[in-house]
A and B are shown apart, each in its own frame.
Chain A
């Protein structure tokens, strides 16, 4: 049996319209109204990769998520589409962790779980877009990692992955256990029906806090949020004068040169 662990972050729906987001600069937090938490989209791609392996091989998929006040109904979607168990790392210490702290916490949980052949994460989270947690977990666990992957297959005890590069893709082979960060090119997560979501309630959900995990949160945090703001965007339109199209063109060229654009 192949033991697969998929790390999933719960984020606020990144597809919500910009106008629905507000910033509380004093509290350094994003204020949202009526915007649901969702599985981070790249992590959904990672779960889909795991499910495709499960379609072809006898596998067990454990979904792992860390945070504070995690939404079980939202994370249970992973069970509904075919994951076997859900492990929630829930503690006030796990709120708004930086990339290192997140990698450290998840790696600690994976170590405690013990058995793993393949660890899958999204290429980056939809809220921070840092893209470092996956590689961080691999580094802490001392296993190989392949990033930004569009296809994953297992063959003869090895993982074969297609890694997206700017002009195509690379095919990389690695021994198990390995960590893969999955990109959107792999494909969307399969749809969960109401029946599957209801049935998912019977699947096991475990919860560990910081103490049970045996990690010391204050030592983990390496980054601190200094300020949070929406950048001001200013645009100015200047009409270029001229008697003829040629003259207007010449004046435009002069303006561009003055602005040091050409």
Chain B
């Protein structure tokens, strides 16, 4: 190692061992060997793949190339969906997305980042959110909801809405429904309203690791002060941040972190939520990357981090809704095609984000489903925007919207 671009020894070993077989780009036989890497399918050039980025990382480390705008452009086009790590036969140690984390952190250190990310991070520093919205408006989504404020009174469970749900008015109904479902099930739930801040997860994925640590520390301080032991979130990005990234950096402590699908699945099993009304709809389910393969590698972490992928709970919820029929797409779970919004791609390369979403929408429509269900606000936003681009009729729902219809 010369330039210390990849400081993690295991990652460095990997980039020197990559045989450029391109297995990182396509799924196994259950997907009929379909491509699963959005950047590789879009650009059809090996540089745009895990193997390609590994070669770039090695060349950077050995000083053969510089960290120029075009090199950084490759790293930032990747949504960080983690499909490559599932497919690569050589990855037997950690999440391959860590390579992207290292490379992007280096891009940040030398200031070689997409302009849109610089603007997003400035907005984050100023207003504590990723959408460049005034922080004073953060609590508006919950107006009239009649839910506890954990900064003023005790609650057993803290519901973290996340930036997208707080500021995207079209998505407010999802977060409001989630809180109402928890209340209906008798959960002692509270929110932080206007005092909630970003989890920092997206900043981390963009390479701004220092900014992430700032938010990890301030969020955990807020939760400790409020006496919170259990966190539930509807945002899969926030879930990944609290569950995995906070733990990776020793910030999580003993906080229990649940995605809303896990928590609702448990409440349904315990009979606290009874799904009795028929919802006559044929649907397919899109696995958000941050609920699946980006969590799954931590199972292999010598027993320390046991996050576990969330593939079954949302399917169990959907199957327990009377009248609803679930049809699977060819690329699901570890082989799932990304929605395109991840890793800051939706900010820096919105056209590519929509292209990726449209591919998934076509796949969903090919199943004959009337609606695609997801469990992440970033996926829902990107799919909804792609549909506006005129890709025909398909409804996009968050899973909690269907649960509410079935009550």
Q: In the complex, identify which listed stretch (A10-18, A114-122, A168-176) lies at the interface while the others stay far away.
A: A10-18
B210 partner residues in chain A, CB cutoff 8 A? 13, 16-17, 20, 32-36
Interface flag for A205 (CB, 8 Å): no
Q: How far is the CB of A199 from chain B (nearest CB, A)?
A: 10
Interface flag for B105 (CB, 8 Å): yes
A194 and B115 contact, CB distance less than 8 A: yes
With A17-B214, A19-B217 known as contacts, the answer to whether A37 contacts B119 (CB < 8 A) is no
B116 and A194 contact, CB distance less than 8 A: yes
Interface flag for A198 (CB, 8 Å): yes
Q: Encode contact with A along B90-124: 1 for CB under 8 Å, 0 otherwise.
A: 00000000000000110011111101101101100
Interface flag for B397 (CB, 8 Å): no
A192 and B119 contact, CB distance less than 8 A: yes
Interface flag for B209 (CB, 8 Å): yes
The listed residue with most A CB atoms (<10 A of its CB), out of B105, B115, B217, is B115
A77 partner residues in chain B, CB cutoff 8 A? 118
CA distance A71 to B210 in the complex (A): 18
Interface flag for A74 (CB, 8 Å): yes
CA distance A34 to B108 in the complex (A): 6
With A34-B207, A74-B111 known as contacts, the answer to whether A19 contacts B213 (CB < 8 A) is yes
Interface flag for A193 (CB, 8 Å): yes
B204 partner residues in chain A, CB cutoff 8 A? 34
With A17-B217, A19-B217 known as contacts, the answer to whether A37 contacts B109 (CB < 8 A) is yes
Interface flag for A69 (CB, 8 Å): yes
Interface flag for B149 (CB, 8 Å): no
With A16-B211, A197-B118 known as contacts, the answer to whether A35 contacts B108 (CB < 8 A) is yes
Interface flag for A249 (CB, 8 Å): no
B214 and A73 contact, CB distance less than 8 A: no
Q: How far is the CB of A22 from chain B (nearest CB, A)?
A: 11
With A34-B208, A36-B111 known as contacts, the answer to whether A20 contacts B213 (CB < 8 A) is yes
B108 partner residues in chain A, CB cutoff 8 A? 34-36
B208 and A36 contact, CB distance less than 8 A: yes
B125 partner residues in chain A, CB cutoff 8 A? 15
B213 partner residues in chain A, CB cutoff 8 A? 16-17, 19-20
- Measured CB to CB, the nearest residue on chain A to B116 is A194
Instruction: For A20, give its contact among B116, B118, B209 (CB under 8 Å).
Output: B209
Q: How far is the CB of A245 from chain B (nearest CB, A)?
A: 29
- Measured CB to CB, the nearest residue on chain A to B121 is A36
When A and B form their complex, what is the total count of cross-chain residue pairs whose Cβ atoms lie within 8 Å?
A: 77
Q: Encode contact with A along B189-210: 1 for CB under 8 Å, 0 otherwise.
A: 0000000000000001001111
B113 and A73 contact, CB distance less than 8 A: yes
B115 partner residues in chain A, CB cutoff 8 A? 73, 194, 197-198
- Size of interface on A: residues with Cβ below 8 Å to B: 25
A37 partner residues in chain B, CB cutoff 8 A? 109-111
Q: How far is the CB of A44 from chain B (nearest CB, A)?
A: 11
Instruction: For A35, give its contact among B69, B109, B116 (CB under 8 Å).
Output: B109
Interface flag for B242 (CB, 8 Å): no
CA distance A33 to B209 in the complex (A): 7
The listed residue with most A CB atoms (<10 A of its CB), out of B104, B109, B113, is B109
B209 partner residues in chain A, CB cutoff 8 A? 20, 33-35
Main secondary structure of the interface of B (DSSP, over half): helix
CA distance A155 to B109 in the complex (A): 42
Interface flag for B246 (CB, 8 Å): no
CA distance A10 to B113 in the complex (A): 15
Q: How far is the CB of A92 from chain B (nearest CB, A)?
A: 15
CA distance A34 to B115 in the complex (A): 16
Which residues of A34-88 are within 8 A (CB) of B? Answer: 34-37, 69, 71-74, 77
Q: How far is the CB of A144 from chain B (nearest CB, A)?
A: 35
CA distance A112 to B122 in the complex (A): 34
Interface flag for B212 (CB, 8 Å): yes
A72 partner residues in chain B, CB cutoff 8 A? 111
Which residues of B17-38 are within 8 A (CB) of A? Answer: none
CA distance A71 to B69 in the complex (A): 11
B119 and A36 contact, CB distance less than 8 A: no
CA distance A58 to B324 in the complex (A): 68
The listed residue with most B CB atoms (<10 A of its CB), out of A13, A15, A33, A197, is A33
Q: How far is the CB of A116 from chain B (nearest CB, A)?
A: 27
CA distance A194 to B113 in the complex (A): 13
CA distance A17 to B249 in the complex (A): 13
The listed residue with most A CB atoms (<10 A of its CB), out of B104, B108, B116, is B108
Q: How far is the CB of A90 from chain B (nearest CB, A)?
A: 13
A20 partner residues in chain B, CB cutoff 8 A? 209-210, 213-214
Q: How far is the CB of A48 from chain B (nearest CB, A)?
A: 15
B109 partner residues in chain A, CB cutoff 8 A? 32-37
Q: Encode contact with A along B106-146: 1 for CB under 8 Å, 0 otherwise.
A: 00111111011011011001000000000000000000000
- Measured CB to CB, the nearest residue on chain B to A70 is B111
- Measured CB to CB, the nearest residue on chain A to B217 is A17
B118 and A73 contact, CB distance less than 8 A: yes
A191 and B113 contact, CB distance less than 8 A: no
B113 partner residues in chain A, CB cutoff 8 A? 36, 73
A197 and B119 contact, CB distance less than 8 A: yes
With A17-B210, A20-B209 known as contacts, the answer to whether A71 contacts B118 (CB < 8 A) is no
CA distance A198 to B348 in the complex (A): 12
CA distance A102 to B125 in the complex (A): 29
Q: A35-B210, A71-B112, A192-B122 are in contact. List 16 more A-B contacts (CB 8 A).
A: A10-B111, A13-B211, A17-B214, A20-B213, A20-B214, A33-B210, A34-B208, A34-B209, A34-B212, A36-B108, A36-B113, A71-B111, A73-B69, A73-B112, A193-B119, A197-B118
Identify the A interface with B (CB < 8 A): 10, 13, 15-17, 19-20, 32-37, 69, 71-74, 77, 191-194, 197-198
A-B interface, 6 closest residue pairs, ranked by CB to CB distance from nearest: A34-B209, A71-B111, A16-B210, A34-B105, A35-B210, A20-B210
